[in-house]
Amino acid sequence: MPPCPPGKLPAAISACSAWATPSPTPATLPGWLPTSPPYCPPYGETFFHRPTGRYCDGRLIVDFIAEALKLPLLTPFLVGKTAEDFQQGANFAVSGATALSQQFFKDMGLDLTIIPPFSLDVQVEWFKRVLHMLGPTEHERKDIMSSSVFLVGEIGGNDYNHPFFQNRSFSAEIKPLVPKVIQKIENATKVLIGLGAKTIVVPGNCPIGCIPRYLTMFQSNNPGDYDAAGCISWLNDFAEEHNRALRLMLERIARNPTVTIVYGDYYGATLEITRSPQKHGFRKDVALTACCGDGGPHNSGKLFSCNPTSILCPYPSKHISWDGLHLTEAAYQFVARGLLDAAPSILSKCRY
């Protein structure tokens, strides 16, 4: 089994509604930040007690994984400058990033205001730069790759979020994106394997039909559109379609006997706490309601509705959704624990 000793990565290449990624710093994206929501209160209030660029009240999935591996919080690529900054891990994700290129969405005619130009292909190139920074020789690079855990995702969710939130046709424009997104994830995974990666975790999409923002956008008077938990069935069916295609692709890659591929079931974990919130310490009456928002049945009337003047719940740890699109620290911790405890576990691939 590949070791994970001090001084090695895990490397994280991840993005999905910022489920696993701190946002870039204001200096890296002038004009977009620092007025971006996660740089304003009440973001970060639970754990860091200040905004950190995370779309959450505290830590994210990747933070809990780093802690479980006995590593410090991973350094974002856009923040680190030297090899020393990345000695114990790196995060190449950017909030809002997609598997497909920004140009692809420009060609679709989407407004690019919140679609960053840092797609999965770009993040992989960033990783290559850090890899050469950490390992000047091929032998050193192979050693780094074989002793690292790679988190590739969740990626793809934003490829659907952006056109959904710009009112594009589901059947004609959004659903056909699935094979294109899966192909991009496959390409990135194969690049990592080609560089020598031995342990790769690729999470699936979340149950978007249970997300307050989607529940507000696609509210229906037809009871048949909802499942027993109050989630929108056709949206969850779409997320499952993406996840099925992803798993099939990963099964093909996993035939390589020298590589361990772990599918991260973010969908199942999130659905579990949504359907049985009280069992896991959450409140049933707010299972589909954002902790921080602008009112309404799901406290998520607008895309970015969490800010210093928002309606804020008193106990974020009792909520699943933080701001209507992203989860609370408590919910992320549950999802991360499911990933860490799954078979095969990331931890089982490391010696300490």
d(CA 176, CA 329): 33
pLDDT number for residue 89: 86
202-249 tens-digit pLDDT: 999 999 999 999 999 999 999 999 999 999 999 999 999 999 999 999
- To 10 degrees, what angle do helices 61-68 and 329-341 make? 50
Say which amino acid occupies 2.
P
pLDDT number for residue 71: 85
Please, which pLDDT band fits residue 348 given cuts at 50, 70 and 90?
Answer: low
Radius of gyration of the chain (CA): 19
pLDDT number for residue 13: 46
291-302 tens-digit pLDDT: 999 999 999 987
pTM (predicted TM-score): 0.92
Measure CA 62 to chain center.
Answer: 8
d(CA 343, CA 322): 29
124-177 tens-digit pLDDT: 999 999 999 999 999 999 999 998 889 998 999 999 999 999 999 999 999 999
Question: First CA to last CA across the chain, in angstroms?
Answer: 11
- Report whether pLDDT(33) > 60: no
Please, which pLDDT band fits residue 51 given cuts at 50, 70 and 90?
Answer: very high
Do the Cβ atoms of 118 and 97 come closer than 8 Å?
yes
pLDDT number for residue 93: 86
Average pLDDT over residues 311-338: 97
pLDDT number for residue 182: 99
pLDDT number for residue 19: 53
pLDDT number for residue 286: 98
pLDDT number for residue 17: 37
For strands 90-91 and 11-13, give the pairing.
Answer: parallel
d(CA 54, CA 59): 8
Q: Which of 5-9, 172-176, 183-187, 270-274 has the lowest mean pLDDT?
A: 5-9
Average pLDDT over residues 337-342: 88
d(CA 2, CA 20): 23
Domains in the chain and their CATH numbers?
11-207+233-267 (3.40.50)
- Which residues neighbour 188 within 8 Å (Cβ) at sequence distance 6 or greater? 13, 99, 120, 121, 123, 124, 152, 155
